[in-house]
Copies of this chain bind each other. A is one copy, B any other.
Amino acid sequence: MNDSSPAPEEFGGLGIVVPQRITLDAPLLLDCGRTLAQHELMVETYGRLNADRSNAILICHALSGDHHAAGFHAAGDRKPGWWDNCIGPGRPIDTDRFFVVCLNNLGGCRGSTGPGTINPDSGKHWGPDFPIVTVRDWVRSQALLADHLGIRQWAAGIGGSLGGMQIMQWAIDLPERIRHAIVIAAAPKLSAQNIAFNEIARQAILSDPEFHDGHFYEHGTVPSRGLKLARMLGHITYLSDEAMRAKFGRVLRGGHMQFNYEVEFEVESYLRYQGQQFVDRFDANTYLLMTKALDYFDPARDYSDDLVAALSHASARFFVLAFEADWRFSPERSREIVQALVAAGKNVSYALIESQLGHDDFLMPLPEYHQLLRAYLNRVALEVGA
């Protein structure tokens, strides 16, 4: 870090935050039928838990997220946590009022027990032997974490995309433990097209010769080609056609056709860069497992495919947000959730945010979006005396 650069704290956020590794010793029975005797989760917390432990907010991450939601890990870090624009003192998720908890999910690759950690039974990497976990499993694991932290009920659970699905599942499976469910840019289940994108991503990884049936750790390699393709494909679904047009257009590097397969259009350069960055930070087995958790998510399945019946168990108040430009989980998908909640007689607010970027808008500091979150969470804070 250059000595004249401002310290991260000067930007008004959380400054330096310290992740902790928490071991949960209670056995965890998974949907697949297997049991984990214990597991570890990487966790970050921001703000202070109040005396009656009523001001805790759970943040659930999406496909490629982790526990590092806000602040910096070190003074020299180029980037803060993935939702730093929304979490911090005076920010919409206000750490002066709330105790905010974010974790790397079970099966993740940022330190929580997952395919890339060591299986105590074998002394080797779990790799493909790590169980495929579901959103329900994550809720169970997160409930053990809440127990560990002494949190009986979350003031609110908040998540975007796959994170929003976890919040829905919390409200259905453990209704008494979540007061408000804030579900952002999500869907009640994946469409066949959503599954199709995930399947191609998985096939790219599975068919990479460096994948070695998931045992690539022992071969000292990574299926970088497959993982790169998977991430490039993901990026197409995170941006709207319009946003790509505005961002990249059809600009040719050098201004003329090259007649080869090198990077030529700006969008190609962007995708290759994003793909390569991802390979350097993400685990292929975790990517497979996360996409499968997405595909499996379908809380209505346990209730004869009746989403209204599933949501009738919830006692949380809901705030559902969608983004105009999002075509991965379009506003129509959020409205399916809202309509089922209305039909189940639940308390629900819905906001459709004007946006341009696409699915990724849920990570952006759009003024309307942040004002709505701020106003909603202000009421939550007053309720719990925070």
| Interface, chain A (partner B; CB < 8 A) | 31-32, 131-132, 134, 189-193, 195-197, 199-200, 202-204, 206-209, 225, 228-229, 232-233, 235-236, 239, 241, 244-245, 247-250, 257, 259-261, 264-268, 271-272, 275, 288, 292, 295-296, 298
User: Are A261 and B192 in contact, with the CB atoms below 8 A?
Assistant: no
Contact for A265 among B229, B232, B241, B295, CB less than 8 A: B295
Contact: A236 with B267, CB < 8 Å? no
Q: A32-B259, A202-B261 are in contact. Are A192 and B288 (CB under 8 A)?
A: no
Residues of B contacting A245 with CB < 8 Å? 191-193
Secondary structure at the A interface, as helix, strand, loop or mixed, is: helix
- Cβ B192 vs Cβ A272 within 8 A: no
Q: Is the CB of A199 within 8 A of B271?
A: yes
Contact status B207-A265, CB under 8 Å: no
Asked whether, in the complex, the Cβ of A267 is within 8 Å of the Cβ of B192, the reply is: yes
Most central of A196, A236, A245 by chain B CB within 10 Å: A196
Contacts A225-B207, A259-B132 hold; do A200 and B267 have CB atoms under 8 A apart? no
Copies in the complex: 2
Q: Per a CB cutoff under 8 Å, which of B190, B232, B249 touches A192?
A: B249
| A288 in contact with B261 (CB, 8 Å) | yes
* Leading 7 A-B pairs by shortest Cβ distance: A192-B244, A32-B259, A207-B225, A192-B248, A193-B241, A192-B267, A132-B259
Chain B residues, CB < 8 A from A202: 261
Q: How many angstroms from the CA of A58 to the CA of B268 in the assembled complex?
A: 34
- List the B side residues contacting A192 at CB < 8 Å: 241, 244-245, 247-250, 265-267
B259 touches A197 (CB 8 A): no
| Known contacts A31-B257, A233-B200; A195/B292 CB under 8 A | no
A-B contact pairs, 15 of them (CB 8 A): A32-B257, A189-B250, A191-B244, A191-B250, A192-B245, A192-B266, A196-B244, A196-B267, A196-B271, A199-B265, A200-B229, A200-B271, A204-B229, A207-B228, A261-B292
